[in-house]
Structures are given as C-alpha cells and as structure tokens.
Structure 1
Amino acid sequence: MKILKKLSVASCVILFILLQIWSTYITFKFPYTGISLESPQPGEWVVSKLEPNSTNSDIRIGDRMIAVDGKPTDQVASVKSWHLVGKASTLVIERSGETVTIDMRASDPTIFEIISLIEESVCLFMCILLLVKENRSPSARLLAFSFLSATMIFMSLGASTRGETLGKLLIASSMMVLPIVFLHFLVVFFKEKGEMDLPKRHFKYMYAIALIAFLARSMYFFPSMAFVYRFDGAFTMGFFSIVISLNIILLAKLFVRIRKVRSPLTAIIKSVFYSLLISFLPIICLSFLPLLIIGEWILDPIYTSGLVLIFPISFSYLIASDQLYDIGLVVRRIIFSCLIAILPVILFTGAVVVVFHWELSSKQIIFIFAGSLLLVSTMLYAAEYWTTILEPYLFPRKYVLKSALKKISKNLGSISSFRDLKDIILVDIVNTLQVRGAAIVFRHTNDFEIIAEGEVDTADIQHIVNTSAMRENPYYTFIDMNCNEEYTSYLIVTRKKTNTRIPKEELQWLQLITSYLEVGMENVYLIRKLTGRLQQMVTHMPQEELLWLRKVMFELQEEERVRIATDLHDTTMQDLFFLKRRLTSLSEKPTLGQDDREQLNNMNNFVDMINASLRQSCFELNPHLLKEVGLKQTLKMYVEKESYGTPFELSFRAEHIADIEGKDLSTKRHIFRIVQELLNNAKKHSQASNVSFHMWEEEQFFFISYRDDGVGFQVKEEVAVEIADSGMGLSYMRSRVLHVGGRFELETQVGEGTHIFITIPIEEVLSA
C-alpha cells in the first residue's frame, strides 16, 4: 500500500513536469496571435476579431486568411475546431486584392505570458509550502490543492490561447474544480478551527458535475464534435461564478450566525468574507459576466485573475505563520500599510505618466499603480519582520543590548539575596557595556554597603558618594535607584575600557535596566529585613518555644514536599506513562514510514528522559529509600547520582554508623536534608574542583565533615546587615543541626575553600 502510494505520487509529479515542459514549449515557441475567424461562405475565412494582447499588429479585421504555415486555412485544426489561428509561424492573407505574407516568428513574448508565468510560480510555491509544512492538516491540504488548480489554469493558459486541445481541456476543467475545492476547504477549515459542522453532501454532486464536464470535453479531440466548445466557455464561467457565490453565501450565513458571539472565529469569518469578495468579485463582475452578457469583458482576465491569489495566499501565510487567530490585527496592518503607500505610489505613477505619457495606455497606468501599491504595501508590512531578522547585521549594538536586557530581566527573578546582584546582574552589565567595572551602593544613615564587579575602587566611590559633586565626576556614571527613609541606592558604572564615556544609547539601556532592578532590590531588601527581624525574635524566644517552632516548620516543609512528590507521581508521571505506551503503539504500526517511526522513537526517548528527571525530583522531595535501605545507602546512591552532573570531583565516605541508623526516620531525614543542602550550595557557589563528604561515629557522637577547595567566602558577624552573607542555605542547615541537638562549625576564608564540621549526639538526639 505504501509503495503504491509513493508510485502514485511519483507518477503525478512526473505527469505535472511533462505538462509544464509541454505548455512552456508551446507558449514560448509560438506567439499568441489572438486572431478569430469567421466563414461567410464555404472555403473562405475572414478575420473577425483581434485580441488586444496579440503579438502582431500587421493583421486587420476583414483580412482574408489564405494559408497558415503553408496549409490552406480550412485544413488547419485550430481553425476547424475553434475558428481561431493558434500555433502559426507564417500567415498568408489577402487585403485589397494583394497577397501579404506575415512572419510571426519574430514576435517576442508579451506581458500576457510573463504575468501568467509569475502567477503560476506563486501558486506552485504556495502549494508546495503548504504540503511540506502543513501536510497533516486536511484544510491545509485542500488549500494546497486549490493552489494546484490555479497553477494548472495559469500553466495551460498559453497553450489554450494558441489552440491546443489539451490546454483548453485542462484550463476549463481546472476552472471548474478550483471553486469547489475552495468551498470544500472552507467547510473543513471551520470544522477544524471552530467545531462547526457544515453540510458536505453537496460536494459529491459538484465533483461529479466537474468529472462529467471533463469527460464531455474529451470530444475536443474530434473536430467534428467541436461545437461542444461553443457552449463550454459559457458553462465553465457560469459554473465558476455560481460556486464562488456559494462560497460567499456560506461565509455570510456563518457571520450572521455568530456575529454576536465574541470569539476569534468571528473575526476570521468576517475577514475571510471580505477577502473573498476582493479576490473573486473583480474577475466575475469585470471579466466573466460581461463576456457572458455582452460578449466582451471590461477588463482582461489576466489582470483580474491576479486578485484571486489574494485570498489563498493570505490564508496560507496566516496558517504557516500561526497567526490565524490574529487575522483581524493582520488585516488592520495590511490596510494601514496600503494607506501609507498610496501617496508615494500616486506620486511615482504620476511621474511615470508625465515622462512616458505618449507610450502608456490607461490599462498600463492602472497596472503600474496597482503593482506599485502592492509592492510598497508588502514592503511596509514586512518591514518589522525583516528588521527583526536583519537586526544583528544592521544594528549589531542594538541587538546586543536587547539580548542582554532579556537575559538580565530573566535573571532578576532568581535573585534571593544581595550577594546574587554581583553574580547575576553586575557581571552582565560590565560585559555588555565593556566598562572597567560597576557597583551598587547602599547608603544607610550611618553605614555603606558596596557590591562591586571589575576594576572599582570602593573607597573612592564611598568618598564621592559622600560629596555633593557626585554628578560631575568625569570617571563614573551615577544612576539613582531606590530612595526611602532607611537607605538610598545607586548604580555606578566606570568609563569604558576604551577610556570613553558611556554613549547615549547605552545610557538609556542602563536606565531601563535600573528601572527593572529597583523592584527586585526593594523586594530583596524587604526579605532581608524580615529575616533579620525573625532572627531577632528567635533569639529572644524561650528554648521550649524555639524547639517547638523549628519542629513545626520542618514538619510543614516535609509534608509539602511529600504532597508535591505524590502529585507528581500520581498525575504527571502517570500521564507520561500512558503517553509512552501510545507512542510505542503508534511506532509499531506496519504502515508507518521510516522517518515517522524514527521521530516517534525520538519522542519516546525524550519522554523517558523527562520521566527519569521527574523520578529524581520526587526522590529528592521524598527520600523514601531511607525507610527501605537506610541512611548510608540512600546517601551513597544520592551522591553517586549527583556526581554525574557536578562540575567537580565528588567523593563520599561513610564508616560504621549503625547507631544513627537505629534512630527514627525523622532524624535520618534531617541528616539527608543537611547533606542535600551542602551539595546544593557546593554546586551553586563553591567553584570547587574537589568536594568530599565523610561520616562516622565515635563515643556516642555522629560526625559529618564537608570539605571543598573552592573560592570560600568572608563570614561576617552581623547577619542582619551583612551584604554578602552565607545565604539561607547555611541558616537552614544550622537550624536543622540545632533541631537534632547538634553543633555546627564553619571554617572558611576567601580563596581558601570551606570546611563544615557537624556534630550530633546520638543518645541525646531529639526526635522530630
């Protein structure tokens, strides 16, 4: 079945290519004569009509056609079948008793052929684009087939006008299929996007009519049955107009039905309705209906047919760019672009008319105006898109600043202490602006706090801030930030590394960063302030209440962790399990292609990765193995698992710890959390090459020794006012150690690593 499908597709592609080669050869090998003949008496043929797009102006109405390419006129197939001169290299005519031979081979391709070729290329490109990008959408496939029908029309147009039977059969059949496929597309589209069930029964009758008409046109190949052609033109144009009217009626009914409902679909229906009118009314009202009623069109279909492309191209663009539900906004942008383009296009068209007024006809002027308006409007509409795409090359500095702004604004959400300001914000500011250094200054009533990055003299900054000449300093740029009763803050930036001052564009960017930073800093300051008050309250709290408070806090934390872990296991992980089973069953279908099977297998592997990550998160939230295999084995497995993702060498050693293993689950959970927090801090802040854990028991005490050779930090005494504090992690660990009656010792210096020594009395350990 799969091989048969591939063979069918390949056969269709080959057939299309052959038709394209054939039609292109006919179109450019033979000029378009545009000569219609009539036979006032048997054996005599007289020129009765000349199309305005013909390539030769030596023919006149009333000329008697004697021979075409050396053959008597009544023996030429196109004359016998269609009463027109089709493919011709030379013509012999009689005019005023004189015989004239006209060479048609010197004629160049007209604008008629060029426009047809452009329209065919556009339709074919949109068809391929939809089939490649949106192949799984039934509505997109139908829209692609409508483009294919339009491609066939423009492709066979040249051959049809030259009297080729196959060309006339293809163009008439494609014109009947095109509006049917359009209507089918709309029905399926509104079912996909709005769950609207519209009647489909009539499609089988429409397609049947198109098929019967196609079979009837096979009589074109028999000159004796050529009379069918005389009625076919009117029938085809009438059928096209009727089915397009059904499209318009369908959209009008849908709009009336849901016009009072506030839904994105309402805007889609309204915009589709108007675009359909703009696309098809000109060709129906200015070309088809005048030809049916008075025998002459007001405007050549080659021009009005170009408007037909507006509707499908706009829809294809909206589907392919995922902007379908923004169609109202897109339409407003198009109208606004056209309004802006009208004035320069009028001036341009007027200048062309003034310069070439003796060579231009009214149709050519209209074409220049419409083409220029379309081109300028498209450029204006796409200006934002191309500016965004080319911004790294056209405005490289602006692009760098915008990217840095996105990164810094995203990182602001992860700031939890003033220490993070240096690592997350100041480093990016210094690197982006290419300055020597930057600092954030907090000025309290009787104190200064300075966070600096790069080459910054903190003593000099403190002195300058204390003076009134802060704004006039030639080396630093000062930007005010938070200002309240308790403190004032400033962002200070040095000169650039090229020893120049910060330019205006970068200064505006810096002020924008400052506006974001103010909010984050105020929140962090409030957190630190509340934390300090909480610590003061704890220091004055009786021992019994303090123990009770710690116990309640830890119990609430563990309960919440267990709840989250349970929810993840019972909902998300179960959904992933069923998703994996579904993907596996799909990948095992024998009719599935190799590429699709590989994609499904890759998706399956990705689901496994997500599942493994969630399983690890559940374990960290709720270390259930403590109850099953004990503290030592759980910690060993946890550390081994983490060692694969850490940037340092991680070692874990646990000697005989039988006594602590005999304690309750709550105590072992506290110890697991302490090790977990130590490891998390090491990954975030230590910048170490080696990290080690050592656990042992001795003389009724349980010991934990943590060491790293990282950057260390400066421990300050005043926790409430420190700016580069040890973080919530150390406070968290201290609280847990105190809760189990232990002692927490910290040894660290800047650049000398960190050593944490924890002692827990086994016999006196408190039960949570």
Structure 2
Amino acid sequence: MTKSKFVAGLFVSIFVALQIWCSSLIFNFPYIGIYLELTPQQQWVINELDKESASMKLDVKVGDIVKQVDGKLPDEFPAIQKWRIIEQAHTLLISRDGHEYKVEVNINSTTVYDMIPLVEEFVCLFMAALIFIKVRRSPSARLLSAVFLTMAIIYMSLGASVRGDVIGKIAIASFMMVLPIVFYHFLAVFFKEKGNMELSTRILKYLYSISAIGFGLRCLYIFPSMAHSIHYYDGSATLIFFVIVFLFNMYILTILYNKVHKEQSYMSSIIKSVWFSLMISFLPVICISFLPQLITGDRIIDAVYTSWIILFFPISFAYLIASNQLYDIGLVVRRFLFAGLLAILPASLFTGAYAFLFRHVVDEKQILFIFVGVMLLVSTVLYAAEYLTTRLEPFLFPRKYALQFALKKISKNLGTISSFRDLKEIILVDIVSTLQVMGGAIVFQYKNDTEIIYEGEIDTSEVQQLVNSSSLLDHPLYTCMEMNSHEEYTSYLIMTRKKTNTMLAKEERQWLQLITSYLEVSLENVHLIRKLTARLHQFASQLPNENAAQDIQWFRKVMFELQEEERIRIASDLHDTTMQDLFFLKRRISTLADKSTMHQEDQVQLKNMNNFVDMINASLRQSCFELNPHLLKEVGLIQTLKMYLEKESYTTPFELEFQTGNTSVIETKDLHTKRHIFRIVQELLNNAKKHSQASKVKFHIVEKDFCFWLTYEDDGVGFHDRDEVHLKIGASGMGIEQMRSRVLHVGGSFELNTQKGNGTKFTIRIPIEEVISA
C-alpha cells in the first residue's frame, strides 16, 4: 500500500469514527443549554438558558440553585467541572425559594443546533465528493475539496460541542482555525495554476503551526482542572485568529488586484470577483456573530444561521471549476447579483404578507429566515432560468426547439455547399423535413431559362408556369419567398402545403424568412463557383490537347511540380508532428499500463488504447507513403508499385491483380518519370474504388517495341460512350484528365476503351526515347 493511500485511508477512518461519535451524541442526548455560575457561597446557580435548547421545556429558571446532577454533586459532574454547563444529564435536583424540585430530562428531540448543521454538513460533503470526482487532477480543485471537508467537520462537531463533548469542542475550535488557512492555501494554488501568479506560501507553515499549537493546548481538555481555564480564553482566541487570517486573505487579494488591474486581463476580473465573493461569504458571519460576541459577549444573530452564507464562496468556485466557466466568474457574479436585486421585491412582499398574517405567532428569527430563504430561492430560480429554459425547451416548446435545432444544422451545413446538388441534398431536404410539407423547391429564373431544384411532391411544371407568369408570390397553395434578384437571375424558395393540408403557421413563416437570409449569400456563392468552375474546365480541357495548347505547356509542368511539393510538405508535417506525438502518447500509455498499482480493467483499457494508437499510426504511415512515395528512389518503380497495390488489396472491394514483364529499362530513368507513372496508377486505383463497382481489377506493366506499356482493366459498370466519359471526367474533378496530362507530358499516348455494363480498359504507351528525355 502506498503512503498516499495509507494517509487517505487513515483520514477516512478518523472522519467516519468522528461522524459516528458526534451523531450518537446528537441523537442520544438533547441539547439542554443550561449555563451555571459559582456564587461566593459555593453554590451553582443557573445564570442563562439558551432559547433554542431543551431547557425551555424544562421546569427550570434563571436563579435556580442546582443541588445534584444525575445523583452527583455539581462539582463532581464532568460538564460542570470543565465548562460550567449542564449537558448529557438525565435528572436534576433544583432548589427554588427554599423548595427542592426534581427535574427529569427525558426530551430526545433535536434542535436548531442539530438540524441546520447536519444539512450544511451534507451540502459540504456532497460538494467535496463532486469536485474530487470530476476534477481530481487539478491541485486547486483538491484543495477546494479540503475546504469543504474542513467546513463539514465544523458543522459535524457543532452538535457534540454544545453538548459538552471534549472531542467535539477540540474538533470545532481546531478546524475553525484551519478553515481560513486552507482558504488561503487554495487561493495560492489556484492563482498559480490558472494565472501563473505567485502568492507567498512561506506564511502557511507558520499559520498551520499556530493551529497545531492550538490543537495541542485543547487536548488538555481531558484534564478537568485545566479545561475551564483553557476554554475560557479558547473561544475568543479562535475567533480572533479566524478574523485576522480572513483580513490577511482580503489584504493579499487587494495587493494582487492593484498589481494587475491596469492590465485589463481576465485575471484582474477573477481577482476582483474572488475578493467580492470572499467578502460576501465571510463578512456577515464575522460582523453579525463573531465581532459582537468578542466585544459584548453576545451575538446579534447566532452563527448557526449566518454560517450558511460562508457556503457561497466555495460553492460558486466549485460550480465554476466543474462547469469550465472559471474565466467567466465576473459575468457569473454580476448575473447572480442582478438576480438578487430582482428577488428583493417579491421576497419583501411575501415576507411582509407572512408577518402580517401570522403576526401573533412569529418572531424576528422566523421573519429573517423566511426573507433570506425566499431571496435565495428566487435568486437561484432567476439565475438558472435561462439554463432551465434551454434544458426544458424540448418538452415545453417542442416545435420552437425543433425549428431552432434545424436552423443551427442548416446554417452549419451552408458552409459546405459548393454545388446545386449539395443545395438539394443538404439544405432543401432538411427544410422540407422540418416544416413537414409535401414538397419544396428552389427556383432560379434566368433571362431565357428557368432551373428548378426540388424535393418531395411538388409539380415543377406548374411552378415553372407560375414563375414565368409572375403570379407565384400570391398563390394560395404555395408559400413563396424571393431571395436573390439581380441582372443574371432571380431566385425563389417555394414550399407546398403541409402534409396536414394546411398552410405554414406564422412562426414557421418567420423561421423560413430567417432561412432565406442565410440562403441568399450561399446561393450567390454557388452561382459564382459554378461560373468559375465552368471557365476552369474550359481552360483545363485544352491541357491534354498537345496541338491546341502549345503555349501553355509550362502551366502543366508548374501544376505537377506544385502538387508534388505540397504532397511532400504535408507528408513531412504528418511525419514530424502527428506521428511523433503518437509515438510519445504510446510511450506514456505504456508507462501507465505497466504500473503495478493499476487495476486490471484499467490496464486492459490502456492496452486497447495503445492498439488503437498503433492502428492510427499505421494509417498515417500509409498516407505519408501515398503522398511521398520515397521508395521510388530506394527500391525502384516496380517494387514500389507492387508493395503499394499489395497493401491496397486488403481494403479494396474487388480482387486486385498486378502483373509485370520485362521492365529493366524503366528502372534506369529519372525519378520524375517514375513519380508520374506512380501517380497514374494511384489515380486509376482511386477511380476504380469510387466508380467502377468491379469485382476484379488488373494492372499489367511491360516493356516492348521500345515502349513502356501500362494497362488497366476492370469488369465494372463502365461508361456509355467515350465522348460522354470525357465530358463527365472534365466535370468531376479532372482525375482522368490529369492522367492524360501526365501521359502527354512524358510524350506518351492515352487510350480508353469502355462500354456501359462491360467494364473499362485504359492503355498507356510511353516511348522509351521520350522517357529518356522527359
């Protein structure tokens, strides 16, 4: 067992034992709340009764003389010896006006000192566990969990402390001193982690040492003769130390803010927000509970109530860290304060109505509790209204949610549109499906022609007639919206009636108008792309024609060189960056998997991850080879093609065959020629995979009659006729046109034999003498 696991196990064991001990006291003994003083006549007299305690239900009064407690003289009862209180007692013998009364303490009900701290403890434990599980790798998050655990122990030990338990009193006082120290420790690590800002941590060892000394002195509580003297000063010393360390935290934050506020950076906003959050959390409990007790010996409001506000600071940080909204802390705080301001009016009205209706039975504490409770509840609801509305929108407003979701999807897809086919398959289909109409169309009206892209059930001939007659916008059966309108064309978006045979609702028309505002720009871009593509194809169609394009041969050469340079650059980037990162990732995963402390299931998952990394690495290696076939120089053209086609045969949907004859001369030629031939084979194979639907593909390479011959054959779907092939090839990316350009560039010839349904055959012939001069 490692040291960290041993320490964690020991802490959990102590925490559980302390929880069991404190809970047993809370539920087995009531909080009696009787405070005594010793008179000069050596009599123990009741001088105070806590209004929140069980003493209010007992027949005791201030001024009563305590004769016996559980059959013992007061001097012999442990709680009176140590703390001058009566707790964990069953019977009292009281003297009043010369008469003695026996009082039975058989009340087992819990009080405010029990229920509120238990709820606060549960909240702290929940937040500590949530932070530790969700962001355990963050040092500041672990310290924030420690803050919550410290607060949980304080709340846990409160019930035992007021019942006169030694362990409870030691725990609550010691952790009260530790709490502001852990807060400062958290802030130091937090600002170092998030903003690389250094706070002095040297003072921490002195603060922790003081709290350790205080803990050691409190351990003397076990000696009755010393307990009262130490406890008399301990409460005030603990509160003074708490206030001083809190002021130190505020002082450090103020200095830190003064250093960075001129930079107008996100850290200045965070520091300011932390300062206000810390002030909001601790100032009420200090000013209303601690300082009045130090100065006058009495509290304005018991710390049991004001301690709730302390939770604001750590809970707000827990929320911001867990939800990755840390750098928006200023915005979050302003939103919450704004929600609090809006909540003042309804909280005041509700509290006033409650106080008026129950004016004979309510007191100030109940009114305060109602007001604060309503404020917090309304503020939280107002703050979370946007989040709740977003989350519940699919259930509360399903149609509105569907339209908004579709709008986001369509607007995202608009960036991928480059043709009218994409316009139909990506956008028009979604619009028709979202609006649940029978059909829809996008109409382009040119000067002498009309083009219609449609989806679903819509009469295109009727739509064309209506567009030409200029009566479409007012047609009762269609919803029509004009989009682009200029000299070259006018475009319309047209929707039929819905499948329920009703027209589009007002909300749906508004949504459609918003869609058209997005479509206007996309349609104009598609139109421009279409014009530029047509011009590019017209220019590219001249490249393979050696006789018609003598003056632009340089363009072909430059294009090939640029392509190869870009491929080599991409391959180098992949090899030097991504593949290296994968190598180091695999080493780190292997190191973690080899740790003996790792669970078996985690080791299996890490090994599976390593295998997946290997698969990615192999795929990237193959991609790098295809981009930059470096083996052409090392092992030659034929061996490189053989290795390439052999690897591809494992992934192709057809049988792949590669045959070679006499190829000795081609291996003596320059690298550029070999690269052209490799690219031709690569392009032929890619076209076969995309379009051929073949069951068998064959490559044959041979040298004869002073020529290099490359033959490609497949038994796929083929093409209708040769002219159509050239047209379609030129309009679909120029893959085969580029092959023809490569062949002509090295002085060869290119022949295509195909027929629809009877496969395709390419024959490429390159004269050896032309290859030599290429």
Q: Equivalent residue for 2:307? A: 305
For residues 341 and 721 of structure 2, the distance between their equivalents in structure 1, rounded to whole angstroms, comes to 64
Number of residue pairs aligned between Structure 1 and Structure 2: 758
Secondary structure of the residue aligned to 2:333 is: helix
Sort the Cα spacing of 1:355 and 1:450 in 2 relative to 1 into closer, same or farther, 3 A: same
Q: TM-score, normalised by structure 2?
A: 0.89
- Measured after TM superposition, the shift of residue 164 of structure 1 is 1.0
For residues 445 and 229 of structure 1, the distance between their equivalents in structure 2, rounded to whole angstroms, comes to 99
1:129 aligns with 2:130: yes
Sort the Cα spacing of 1:738 and 1:505 in 2 relative to 1 into closer, same or farther, 3 A: farther
- Measured after TM superposition, the shift of residue 658 of structure 1 is 4.9
Aligned residue type for 2:164: G
For residues 665 and 625 of structure 1, the distance between their equivalents in structure 2, rounded to whole angstroms, comes to 11
- Mean alpha-carbon deviation: is it higher for 190-199 or for 50-59? 50-59
For residues 721 and 378 of structure 2, the distance between their equivalents in structure 1, rounded to whole angstroms, comes to 62
For residues 642 and 435 of structure 2, the distance between their equivalents in structure 1, rounded to whole angstroms, comes to 46
Give 1:462-501 correspondences, 5 Å limit. 462-501=464-503
Give 1:452-467 correspondences, 5 Å limit. 452-467=454-469
Q: Deviations over 1:518-559 (max 9, x none)?
A: 323322321221222334456689421233322221221111
Q: Deviations over 1:99-158 (max 9, x none)?
A: 444444346323332211111111111111222222222222222112111111000000
Q: Equivalent residue for 2:156? A: 155
Secondary structure of the residue aligned to 1:500 is: coil
Sort the Cα spacing of 1:304 and 1:182 in 2 relative to 1 into closer, same or farther, 3 A: same
Q: Contact conserved, 1:278 with 1:307, CA < 8 A, in 2?
A: yes
Q: Contact conserved, 1:31 with 1:88, CA < 8 A, in 2?
A: no
Give 1:290-439 correspondences, 5 Å limit. 290-439=292-441
Q: Contact conserved, 2:34 with 2:55, CA < 8 A, in 1?
A: no
Q: Deviations over 1:721-761 (max 9, x none)?
A: x9x9545556555655665654475968xxx7795543323
Q: Equivalent residue for 2:54? A: 55
Q: Equivalent residue for 1:447? A: 449
For residues 10 and 150 of structure 1, the distance between their equivalents in structure 2, rounded to whole angstroms, comes to 20
For residues 754 and 382 of structure 1, the distance between their equivalents in structure 2, rounded to whole angstroms, comes to 67
1:171 aligns with 2:172: yes
Q: Equivalent residue for 1:76? A: 77
Q: Equivalent residue for 1:518? A: 520
For residues 680 and 436 of structure 1, the distance between their equivalents in structure 2, rounded to whole angstroms, comes to 39
Aligned residue type for 1:364: Q
Sort the Cα spacing of 1:188 and 1:537 in 2 relative to 1 into closer, same or farther, 3 A: closer
Q: Contact conserved, 2:438 with 2:497, CA < 8 A, in 1?
A: yes
Give 1:591-670 correspondences, 5 Å limit. 601=607, 604-628=610-634, 634=640, 638=644, 641=647, 649-656=653-660, 658=662, 665-670=671-676
1:694 aligns with 2:698: yes
For residues 154 and 758 of structure 2, the distance between their equivalents in structure 1, rounded to whole angstroms, comes to 79
For residues 686 and 508 of structure 2, the distance between their equivalents in structure 1, rounded to whole angstroms, comes to 37
Q: Equivalent residue for 1:221? A: 222
Aligned residue type for 2:765: P
1:546 aligns with 2:547: no
Q: Equivalent residue for 2:5? A: 6
Q: Equivalent residue for 2:566? A: 560
Sort the Cα spacing of 1:191 and 1:745 in 2 relative to 1 into closer, same or farther, 3 A: same
Secondary structure of the residue aligned to 1:129 is: helix
Q: Deviations over 1:175-217 (max 9, x none)?
A: 1111111111111222212222222222212111111211111
Q: Contact conserved, 1:693 with 1:706, CA < 8 A, in 2?
A: yes
Sort the Cα spacing of 1:575 and 1:401 in 2 relative to 1 into closer, same or farther, 3 A: same
Q: Deviations over 1:319-376 (max 9, x none)?
A: 1111111111111111122122222222222222222222222222122111111122
1:18 aligns with 2:24: no
Sort the Cα spacing of 1:549 and 1:337 in 2 relative to 1 into closer, same or farther, 3 A: same
Q: Contact conserved, 2:722 with 2:752, CA < 8 A, in 1?
A: no
Q: Equivalent residue for 2:253? A: 251
For residues 754 and 378 of structure 2, the distance between their equivalents in structure 1, rounded to whole angstroms, comes to 71
For residues 431 and 742 of structure 2, the distance between their equivalents in structure 1, rounded to whole angstroms, comes to 38
Sort the Cα spacing of 1:333 and 1:673 in 2 relative to 1 into closer, same or farther, 3 A: farther
Secondary structure of the residue aligned to 2:197 is: coil
Q: Contact conserved, 1:708 with 1:753, CA < 8 A, in 2?
A: yes
Aligned residue type for 2:38: S
Secondary structure of the residue aligned to 1:259 is: helix
Q: Contact conserved, 1:744 with 1:756, CA < 8 A, in 2?
A: no
For residues 551 and 79 of structure 1, the distance between their equivalents in structure 2, rounded to whole angstroms, comes to 104
Q: TM-score, normalised by structure 1?
A: 0.89
1:704 aligns with 2:708: no
For residues 482 and 630 of structure 1, the distance between their equivalents in structure 2, rounded to whole angstroms, comes to 57
For residues 359 and 539 of structure 1, the distance between their equivalents in structure 2, rounded to whole angstroms, comes to 96
- Measured after TM superposition, the shift of residue 296 of structure 1 is 0.7
Q: Equivalent residue for 2:184? A: 183
Q: Deviations over 1:288-340 (max 9, x none)?
A: 12111111112211111111111111111111111111111111111122122
- Mean alpha-carbon deviation: is it higher for 617-626 or for 75-84? 617-626
- Measured after TM superposition, the shift of residue 670 of structure 1 is 4.1
- Measured after TM superposition, the shift of residue 697 of structure 1 is 6.1
Give 1:21-32 correspondences, 5 Å limit. 21-32=20-31
- Measured after TM superposition, the shift of residue 692 of structure 1 is 4.7
Q: Contact conserved, 2:445 with 2:489, CA < 8 A, in 1?
A: yes
Give 1:199-214 correspondences, 5 Å limit. 199-214=200-215
For residues 408 and 670 of structure 1, the distance between their equivalents in structure 2, rounded to whole angstroms, comes to 42
Q: Equivalent residue for 1:260? A: 262
For residues 587 and 275 of structure 1, the distance between their equivalents in structure 2, rounded to whole angstroms, comes to 43
Aligned residue type for 2:88: K
For residues 292 and 44 of structure 2, the distance between their equivalents in structure 1, rounded to whole angstroms, comes to 27
For residues 524 and 272 of structure 1, the distance between their equivalents in structure 2, rounded to whole angstroms, comes to 51
Aligned residue type for 2:535: R
- Measured after TM superposition, the shift of residue 419 of structure 1 is 2.3
Aligned residue type for 1:30: F
Q: Equivalent residue for 1:574? A: 580
Sort the Cα spacing of 1:678 and 1:452 in 2 relative to 1 into closer, same or farther, 3 A: farther
Secondary structure of the residue aligned to 2:654 is: strand
Secondary structure of the residue aligned to 2:54 is: coil
Sort the Cα spacing of 1:62 and 1:206 in 2 relative to 1 into closer, same or farther, 3 A: same
Aligned residue type for 1:379: V
Q: Deviations over 1:28-72 (max 9, x none)?
A: 322222221112145522111122322342432212223334444
Secondary structure of the residue aligned to 1:567 is: helix
Sort the Cα spacing of 1:122 and 1:102 in 2 relative to 1 into closer, same or farther, 3 A: same
For residues 752 and 493 of structure 2, the distance between their equivalents in structure 1, rounded to whole angstroms, comes to 36
For residues 631 and 517 of structure 1, the distance between their equivalents in structure 2, rounded to whole angstroms, comes to 50
For residues 512 and 214 of structure 2, the distance between their equivalents in structure 1, rounded to whole angstroms, comes to 71
- Mean alpha-carbon deviation: is it higher for 256-265 or for 41-50? 41-50
For residues 436 and 510 of structure 1, the distance between their equivalents in structure 2, rounded to whole angstroms, comes to 16
Match 1:762 to one of 759, 766, 769: 766
Q: Deviations over 1:397-448 (max 9, x none)?
A: 4444444334333333333322222332233333433333333222221122
Cα-Cα RMSD: 3.4
Unmatched tracts of structure 1, length 5 or more: none
Q: Deviations over 1:196-251 (max 9, x none)?
A: 22222222121111112111111111211122111111111111111111111111
Sort the Cα spacing of 1:739 and 1:756 in 2 relative to 1 into closer, same or farther, 3 A: farther
Aligned residue type for 1:173: S
- Measured after TM superposition, the shift of residue 15 of structure 1 is 2.5
- Mean alpha-carbon deviation: is it higher for 81-90 or for 323-332? 81-90
Q: Contact conserved, 1:43 with 1:74, CA < 8 A, in 2?
A: no
For residues 31 and 627 of structure 1, the distance between their equivalents in structure 2, rounded to whole angstroms, comes to 92
- Measured after TM superposition, the shift of residue 459 of structure 1 is 2.3
Q: Contact conserved, 2:482 with 2:493, CA < 8 A, in 1?
A: yes
Sort the Cα spacing of 1:613 and 1:406 in 2 relative to 1 into closer, same or farther, 3 A: farther
